[in-house]
Amino acid sequence: MNSFLPILRHSLKALAFAGLALTLSNCEVAKKGNYSLNFDPPSKPVKNPSNVRVKLSTGAQRVYVMEGNEVLLATPCSVGTASSPTPKGNFTIYSKVANRRRASMPGAGYPMTFWMEFQSAYGMHWGWVKPYPCTHGCVRLPIKSAQKIFSMVKTGTPLNIAVSQPEDATIGKTLPVLDDSSLADPPDSYMNSNKVFEDAAKGKMYY
């Protein structure tokens, strides 16, 4: 029995080292890549919440938080595919839930942090961002963008969704291309825990 102890200790050390190496590797990947986790949009303070409105361009995959004609925040996003498009038209953000999880299948329980609902089952929320339409109709935002927009809008904030917006030709062109497609999804043990919401409140997500 005792003869196996050194082997067991060595194996446990190797596993711990491998886990640490994988964590460090993931962190390095997240730091180096042009991922949404690294994007922190500049923002201007809201002066009059009643004058705030949101504009979404599905063609450019851009979200603009406006106060009057001034852009307070601009961010890349991901929208619905051709087969499951993001609805277009004029809406209001009528529900806000900071710590929300997906209720329906597939993917029940998956965090949809900083949920801002504008039509039944459709909302803006945190999610992995890609440079092409990739959702079932919701609008995915980088974690810091979702956090900031959530604090800037209120229930009743108007939202216009169109194929293009005038801001696409100005500030929209200056935004980076974000691509999370090669970023590994965090483990279920993390995504199903309260830690995911604790991190989101700090503007971070796993990495």
Q: For the chain, what are the domain ranges?
A: 1-32, 49-174
Q: pLDDT (tens digit, 9 = 90+) per residue, 4-47? A: 444 434 444 443 333 433 443 445 555 567 999 999 999 999 99
Could you give the CA distance from residue 44 to residue 66 in angstroms, rounded to a whole number? 10
Q: Please name the helix (run of DSSP H) or strand (run of DSSP E) that holds residue 64, with its range, or none.
A: strand 62-67
Q: pLDDT (tens digit, 9 = 90+) per residue, 77-121? A: 999 999 999 999 999 999 999 999 988 777 789 999 999 999 999
Residue 41 CB contacts under 8 Å (≥ 6 apart), including other chains: 73, 74, 75, 142, 144, 145, 148
Could you give the CA distance from residue 165 to residue 62 in angstroms, rounded to a whole number? 9
pLDDT of residue 104: 78
For 49-174, which CATH class?
mainly beta
The stretch 63-84 carries a mean pLDDT of 98
User: Which bin fits 70, alpha (ψ -120 to 50), beta or left (φ > 0)?
Assistant: beta
pLDDT of residue 7: 43
pLDDT of residue 103: 85
pLDDT of residue 22: 40
Collapsed DSSP state (helix, strand, coil) of residue 40: coil
Q: Which of 121, 115, 110, 114 is nearest to 86 (CA)?
A: 121
